[in-house]
């Protein structure tokens, strides 16, 4: 209907912020992160780890980066606001030895610690230096089809004392978490056909929000 286009300016999609750029829209999972619960362990500056999850079009912003504190490892715990099917990741760093050289992905271990990271990952990647954010690492989708917490462990870099990451891109599909109240609405919104003649009020008004 005509109501669908509401709030969309000319040529710009409000929900993904992409100017008609399909590639940028595909990397929109940063919008589905529960920012209040996102963690980055061993970050030098508090809150800097969260900033590397941003729009694909903004990956070149060199002001936004996270650097490790004590040694060259970082661990991100990324909770989503629903269920995610993760298809690929991008990891962009400096064009030097501070760039991470390995990534281990874990799923559905909320608030994972460095001790937890010793376990077997769902998938491991050897990373190539990627100072422009172009290299996509495809996941084994079957293993990442129902992710509500993603942990990204970067155990080492190419030899520098600290690790630096400028941008992490997450590509995939997001599904809203099913809440109980939705089910209640569905029941209320299906009146018994026998009552239909008497049904004067709109069934939706019974929804419990």
CA 204, CA 187: separation in Å to the nearest integer? 10
**pTM, two decimal places:** 0.76
Could you give the dihedral angle defined by the CA atoms of residues 43, 51, 173 and 87, in that order, rounded to the nearest 10 degrees? -50
Name which of 161, 170, 131 is nearest 67 in CA terms.
161
For tokens 């990324």, the residue is 78
* pLDDT tens track, the chain, 209 positions: 544 444 433 444 334 333 445 777 889 999 999 999 999 999 999 999 999 999 999 999 999 999 999 999 999 999 999 999 999 999 999 999 999 999 999 999 999 999 999 999 999 999 999 999 999 999 999 999 999 999 999 999 999 999 999 999 999 999 998 765 544 444 455 555 555 554 454 445 444 54
CB 113 within 8 A of CB 152: no
β-sheet bridge partners, residue 80: 33
Q: Which residue ranges form the domains of the chain, and what is each CATH number? A: 21-176 (2.60.120.470)
């Amino acid at each position: 209907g005509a109501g669908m286009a509401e709030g969309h300016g000319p040529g710009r999609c409000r929900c993904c912020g992409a100017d008609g750029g399909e590639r940028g829209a595909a990397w929109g999972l940063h919008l589905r992160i529960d920012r209040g619960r996102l963690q980055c362990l061993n970050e030098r500056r508090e809150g800097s780890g969260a900033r590397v999850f941003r729009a694909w079009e903004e990956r070149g912003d060199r002001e936004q980066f996270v650097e490790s504190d004590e040694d060259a490892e970082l661990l991100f715990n990324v909770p989503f606001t629903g269920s995610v099917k993760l298809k690929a990741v991008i990891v962009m760093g400096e064009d030097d030895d501070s760039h991470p050289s390995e990534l281990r992905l874990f799923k559905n271990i909320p608030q994972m610690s460095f001790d937890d990271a010793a376990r077997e990952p769902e998938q491991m990647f050897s990373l190539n230096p990627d100072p422009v954010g172009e290299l996509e690492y495809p996941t084994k989708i079957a293993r990442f089809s129902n992710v509500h917490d993603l942990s990204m462990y970067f155990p080492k870099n190419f030899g520098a004392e600290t690790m630096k990451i400028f941008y992490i891109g997450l590509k995939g599909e997001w599904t809203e978490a099913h809440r109980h109240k939705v089910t209640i609405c569905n029941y209320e919104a299906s009146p018994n056909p026998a009552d239909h003649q008497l049904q004067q009020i709109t069934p939706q008004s019974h929804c419990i929000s």
